[in-house]
Structure 1
Amino acid sequence: MANHLAGATSPYLLQHADNPVHWQEWGEDAFAEARRRDVPVLLSVGYAACHWCHVMAHESFEDQQVAAAMNEGFVPVKVDREERPDVDAVYMAATTAMTGQGGWPMTCFLTPDGEPFFCGTYYPKPHFLQVLAAVRDAWRDRRTEVLRSSASITGALARMSVSGPADALDTDALADAVATLGREFDPVNGGFGTAPKFPPSMVLEFLLRHHARTGDADALRMAEETCTAMARGGMYDQLAGGFARYSVDAEWVVPHFEKMLYDNAQLLRAYLHLHRATGSDLAERVARETADFLLADLGTPEGGFASALDADAEVDGRGVEGHTYVWTPDQLADILGPDDGARAAEVLSVTPAGTFEHGASTLQRRADPDPRWWSDVRARLLAARAERPQPARDDKVVTAWNGLAISALAEAGALLEEPRYLDAAVACADLLLSTHLVDGRLRRASRGGVVGSAAGVAADHGDLADGLLTLHQATGDARWLEAAGRLLDVALERFGDGAGGFFDVADDAERLVTRPKDPTDNVEPSGQSALAGALLTYAALTGSARHREAAEAAVAAAGRLARQAPRFAGWTLATAEALFAGPLQVAVVGSGDSAADLVRTVRRATSPGLVLTAGEPDAPGIPLLAHRPLVEGHAAAYVCRGFVCDRPVTTTGQLEQALRATVAP
């Protein structure tokens, strides 16, 4: 045997291609080998930007002693959780059930039939060697007990995928969710709960939508205070824009430094909507800087967006977390001179003792300095930082996360009137539809323009459909609406669970020991909630009752979760807000400055149920423009609520009044 990862497309797997471990990719060949040798499969799951994955790799997978033990007693299989979220979901559920917690790297021992019997996460080398020996001995000497355990665990996993009763949400439930979030809110530092703190992107969207629908001041306050705290702290890159994955402390000072596409796409949208709701200059600045970060640091030559920047940078042959981003007062003085260096240290909270490790500090920006001075200092610090070792980039293009980026950039381009962002969204959509769609079916990821073999999951269909629908509203191009409809039809046909919800994988996907299904909105929308949101938007844009009913059923399928744990049902709750606020359909017909002014007026509206289509009357493929003529030769806006339409208006004042009339008191 030998290491078989050299031909992998995943950057994470390629990081392990030179290990002395005889890694194989996930697949039937690995399990057939385990059956032939009568040994367990050792499944190791991680991702390219994972700090502790790198630590375990250096300690164990690059070590000859550990590799020998792995190769002798097991068939080692390496999986990129971002490329195979279905495999990750099944065995993460097992790991959490066995240990009470999960995380990456994830280490699972499986029977040759794929049933888990022992799971954990990161193991230091000495402990890992002990685990390997104990599992090998158990497989050899207590096989019956091991198989009984694996069958019990697999049965429990199957029961977890059984649909529970639907629990339709009403407006009282949404108000109760805000109250629950209020009890979990950190009034001092913003955010929810204690350390570590993850950016609550979908919860922020729910709170902003709830405020837009009801005027609830507490919902807006929690959203604004959280956004402000994150943007002022060290989790936000004060020089280049973009957010790190989470803060290790409650004050948002020290991040876990990896930067993920899915976080930044969702946060871009949240700050954009906060700016729209409040006029906040801070929110607008962060939205622009985050969009610029996506284009500059995550854009790929093919037009997509890379998955992540690593937490580590390589220094003297080893990975050092945060090395690229942290500073000492002396370093600032060396670059800026003593006066500007001291001023920058004060502005950016760089202290002699340091806020991170070894006397270095993350950069915070608790107040806004003089713009002209800051522009010069920022440019000089960025130039100096560019000379440091840089974090590696996982340039895998994941469908779901690129769908999130399309949504965010399309909205940013439209609301901020920045063509670069809109052009990037169009290029990304073109790439996904031309490369990730193979024989009418969606694939999960590509790299370098070459699509991988892993099938698209529910989140890929929902997030990409949502991105295409947002792009349609930003451009008026019918092809995005049509493509979204095709994706949603596949989702309805292949992913439904028969009870209103959705499995994570299609009915014709590779068979795992159980078919995963999880409605939880964690760091990104679940497949079920992503599809619910896209189905609802598509229904509003087309008038399709079938798609609206499917959206309502999907929200109800997660209703119990949303009532009990709103922090983990943010996108379900945000979609429910759109259900109750809409459909509010606005069609702008005509061209020229007057039509542009009407469109601009609509885009400033905050109703979560609003959809917009603009173009010429009876433009082909756009239902909302059908049978809607110009008014005496002038551009006009048609405002419809619940499929009941007002008389068309031709001035922005009339349109503002019509939109105000659709907002609940």
Structure 2
Amino acid sequence: MTGGPECSRPNRLAEAGSRYLRQHSCDPVDWMPWGAEAFEKARRLDKPVFVSVGYSSCHWCHVMQRESFSDPMVAEVLNRAFVMVKVDREERPDVDTLLMRYCAIASGSCGWPLNVLLTPDGKPFYVATYLPKESLVALAVSLERVWRERRAEVLEVAERAGGLLEQHRLAFTPGRIPRPGEILGKAVSSLEKVYDTAYGGFGRGMKFPMHHALLLLARASMAGDRRALNMLTGTLDHMLFSGVHDLVEGGLHRYSVTRDWRLPHYEKMLYDQAWIIQVLAEAYAASGDRLYLDFAVSTLEFAMSWLWTGRGFASSVDADTGEGEGAYYTFTLEEAEAEGGLPPEAIGLFNLSREGNVFEEATGARTGRNILHVGGRLDRAAEMLGLSPDRAWEVLEESRRILLRIRSRREKPGVDDKVLTDWNGMMLHALAHLYWVSRDPEVLGVAKSLKALVKDRMNGDGISHVCYSGGECVEGMLPDYAYTAAALASLYTVSGDTEALGAAKSLAKGMIDLLWSPGGGYFRLSPPGPHTPEVPAEAEDTAYPGAYATAIHALLLIHRATGWMKAREVAMKSLKRLASRLEQEPAAHATLALATLNLAPLAVEVAAPGVAEDFRVKVLESVYNPYMVIHTYMKPEDLRGLVEYAASMTTMGGSPAFYICHGGVCKEPLRDEDRALEEVMRLSKKAG
């Protein structure tokens, strides 16, 4: 798919900044972007608003475009019946979240493309996902008649939907915040009940990476929970050597339609790369297994090769090319033989065959095409085949070289070049932690480049969600503030970059001023404005760790780093509002459970006046603790205006001092560096 196709009569989307919207600019559908103009047109013409939500790398979005939105007959019916609005879910996550929430209430079966009918005043009354052409036309004809002849019924449905959405917004019961260590163990037990002992992951159907659950398992593993470590490594060992992970060029596909992780949906999303890098870095910290660190680095190499724009990371790689979904990634044995053939051991090691190990999702018929799929850890599979681990890795490398030559002659999947602040914030967060465990200066260099992107997009205490080449920017939303503030605070701990900590505090202020609802005690997803939906951010985790919980984590971390009490006050009110949900469903709120660890003894602050940066390096080399804050400074004035408590933490008669605080309590300062390191290591193993 290309970014902006040429056509004789482009619609209103031709000038859009979003690549996904421009992809629809030659449709005969009279698309409009989301905004006041579309709803004003609907009121003027007395028509419902048909909102279609998708994204550039979405396979079924492209299928629906080819089958329906590109068809003049279908377009004529749609244009007559509705005001047509296209939304890029990555550009407007607030709109997508609101409509997905309605979908969950109305049908329970949600995904993209998401198609929702709204009244001219913005209330939803019908929802569907992918629709074949005949079904879409029949629906449009039917709903056009219903709108004209049974309007009162439609409005009643819309009012009822509005009431249900309002109930969802208010459905919180404040309660006591559970003890961090207690809730962590409870969450691990909840995950254990749905853990797939055969293939790793959770559940017995389609498999999603569930990064939030894996991070929780990593943190619990570091606190000594063997159950958590076994589930973490069991899942990663299946994922990393399966079809859902591209063993040829690296990178994680979005999810697997099969229980064994074999058959992926082939999109590669930036957020998946960011979170799997962090999961792998923490799995390495928890297990000491170098394999996980190596795969974290190879995932970053994929992201740099395919998604790096020079000003941040692009959003995604498409699933489709002109040859079909996944055609770039799969191959036949005949293609491999034409290149000289794969090593003979590859057939058994990667489960390859003439009939193919890739099958039609709908029919189950084999396609003759293959994908590298081990089905478990490579060294264990090699042992079952009588191969040495070294030979197995040689077979993988030889196979990669041949398959790379095959791919080099194919049409490459397109890349959506939107540089989203929130997803780059996720990557910045991952890189700060990858640098912690790897100490690789190149990783830190990429992280600093992302910090520069963030600074460019900041305006005072505010930030933009995305900016396009024409200068148009979309206003920042909760994910942009939350993920980026947390990332910058983490970058400060690993690098000592005070500018990063200052930017983190500034974003926290903007997040509270623009998005916090003091009366409701919750965070909105986006700032209020005309035709900006009042959407409270979701408390649960979704495809990635939730922004609401990340906002709480960021505020608690920034409070501990700077002493700014307002951050703690807002975070604690938010936590109390969600306490009953966290108590009842800890695994569904894994990121929230992890945020509470900022309140446990695991939360360590180290202030070392009169000490050079080499002490920070020694701490980082000695322990991994994502809830640690490290200040090194020669005199308190070095942190003036940034760290409120630095003034009281001075040298001892001109000699270096080591102040160690945890759980809100600071001990007497230590003079001996080795003793300080020992104490930091001891506290970093306590979960609460």
Residues 314, 439 of structure 1: alpha-carbon distance in 2 compared, 3 angstrom cutoff: farther
* Structure 2 residue 86 is the aligned partner of structure 1 residue 82: no
SS in 1 for 2:322: strand
Instruction: Please name the residue that 1:487 is paired with.
Output: 507
Q: CA deviation at 1:542?
A: 1.3
Residues 360, 649 of structure 1: alpha-carbon distance in 2 compared, 3 angstrom cutoff: farther
- Larger mean CA deviation between 363-372 and 228-237 belongs to 363-372
Which of 329, 333, 347 aligns to 1:345? It is 347
* Structure 2 residue 56 is the aligned partner of structure 1 residue 48: yes
Which of 152, 161, 168 aligns to 1:160? It is 168
Q: Which runs of 5+ in 2 are unaligned?
A: 1-8, 360-366, 380-388
Do the aligned residues in 2 keep the contact of 1:211 with 1:219 (CA within 8 Å)? Answer: yes
Matches within 5 A, 1:447-462: 447-448=468-469, 452-462=472-482
SS in 2 for 1:361: coil
Which of 225, 228, 244 aligns to 1:235? It is 244
Deviations 1:253-274 (A, max 9, x none): 1111101111111110011011
Corresponding letter in the other structure for 1:324: Y
Instruction: Please name the residue that 1:322 is paired with.
Output: 326
Residues 633, 268 of structure 1: alpha-carbon distance in 2 compared, 3 angstrom cutoff: farther
Count, aligned residues: 653
SS in 1 for 2:186: helix
Deviations 1:426-449 (A, max 9, x none): 112211221x3346422221234x
**Distance in 1, Cα, partners of 2:427 & 2:56:** 20
Deviations 1:224-253 (A, max 9, x none): 211222112111111222111111111111
Do the aligned residues in 2 keep the contact of 1:598 with 1:655 (CA within 8 Å)? Answer: no
**Distance in 2, Cα, partners of 1:273 & 1:482:** 26
Which of 423, 427, 436 aligns to 2:445? It is 423
Residues 604, 227 of structure 1: alpha-carbon distance in 2 compared, 3 angstrom cutoff: farther
Q: CA deviation at 1:524?
A: 2.1
**Distance in 2, Cα, partners of 1:367 & 1:570:** 30
SS in 1 for 2:79: helix
* Structure 2 residue 381 is the aligned partner of structure 1 residue 367: no
- Larger mean CA deviation between 129-138 and 248-257 belongs to 248-257
- Larger mean CA deviation between 86-95 and 378-387 belongs to 378-387
Deviations 1:535-586 (A, max 9, x none): 1111121123332333233233333333333342121111123322343012
Instruction: Please name the residue that 1:178 is paired with.
Output: 188
- Larger mean CA deviation between 630-639 and 21-30 belongs to 630-639
SS in 2 for 1:21: coil
Do the aligned residues in 2 keep the contact of 1:519 with 1:526 (CA within 8 Å)? Answer: yes
* Structure 2 residue 260 is the aligned partner of structure 1 residue 251: yes
Q: CA deviation at 1:452?
A: 4.1
Corresponding letter in the other structure for 1:312: D
SS in 2 for 1:585: strand
**Distance in 2, Cα, partners of 1:653 & 1:345:** 55
Residues 590, 385 of structure 1: alpha-carbon distance in 2 compared, 3 angstrom cutoff: farther
* Structure 2 residue 579 is the aligned partner of structure 1 residue 559: yes
Do the aligned residues in 2 keep the contact of 1:161 with 1:517 (CA within 8 Å)? Answer: no
TM-score by length of 1: 0.92
Matches within 5 A, 1:397-408: 397-408=419-430
Do the aligned residues in 1 keep the contact of 2:308 with 2:314 (CA within 8 Å)? Answer: yes
**Distance in 1, Cα, partners of 2:274 & 2:187:** 24
Instruction: Please name the residue that 1:664 is paired with.
Output: 686
Do the aligned residues in 2 keep the contact of 1:3 with 1:18 (CA within 8 Å)? Answer: yes
Deviations 1:148-194 (A, max 9, x none): 22122112212211151123222433322211111111111111112
SS in 1 for 2:140: helix
Do the aligned residues in 1 keep the contact of 2:526 with 2:532 (CA within 8 Å)? Answer: no
Which of 284, 304, 307 aligns to 2:312? It is 304
* Structure 2 residue 490 is the aligned partner of structure 1 residue 470: yes
Do the aligned residues in 1 keep the contact of 2:343 with 2:398 (CA within 8 Å)? Answer: no
Matches within 5 A, 1:132-151: 132-151=140-159
**Distance in 1, Cα, partners of 2:230 & 2:317:** 32
**Distance in 2, Cα, partners of 1:118 & 1:281:** 51
SS in 1 for 2:25: coil
Instruction: Please name the residue that 2:384 is paired with.
Output: none
Which of 422, 446, 455 aligns to 1:433? It is 455
Matches within 5 A, 1:124-135: 124-135=132-143
Which of 513, 525, 538 aligns to 2:545? It is 525
Instruction: Please name the residue that 1:611 is paired with.
Output: 629
Which of 77, 94, 99 aligns to 1:91? It is 99
**Distance in 1, Cα, partners of 2:576 & 2:198:** 34
* Structure 2 residue 271 is the aligned partner of structure 1 residue 262: yes
**Distance in 2, Cα, partners of 1:208 & 1:5:** 44
Do the aligned residues in 1 keep the contact of 2:623 with 2:684 (CA within 8 Å)? Answer: no
TM-score by length of 2: 0.89
Identity between Structure 1 and Structure 2 (%): 32
- Larger mean CA deviation between 654-663 and 70-79 belongs to 654-663
**Distance in 1, Cα, partners of 2:491 & 2:651:** 24
Corresponding letter in the other structure for 1:397: V
Residues 211, 649 of structure 1: alpha-carbon distance in 2 compared, 3 angstrom cutoff: farther
Corresponding letter in the other structure for 1:444: H
Do the aligned residues in 1 keep the contact of 2:229 with 2:287 (CA within 8 Å)? Answer: no
Do the aligned residues in 2 keep the contact of 1:43 with 1:107 (CA within 8 Å)? Answer: yes
Do the aligned residues in 1 keep the contact of 2:524 with 2:534 (CA within 8 Å)? Answer: no
Corresponding letter in the other structure for 1:602: L
Matches within 5 A, 1:506-655: 506-512=526-532, 514-588=534-608, 595-596=613-614, 599-618=617-636, 619-621=638-640, 623=643, 637-641=658-662, 642-648=664-670, 650-652=672-674, 655=677
Instruction: Please name the residue that 2:228 is paired with.
Output: 219
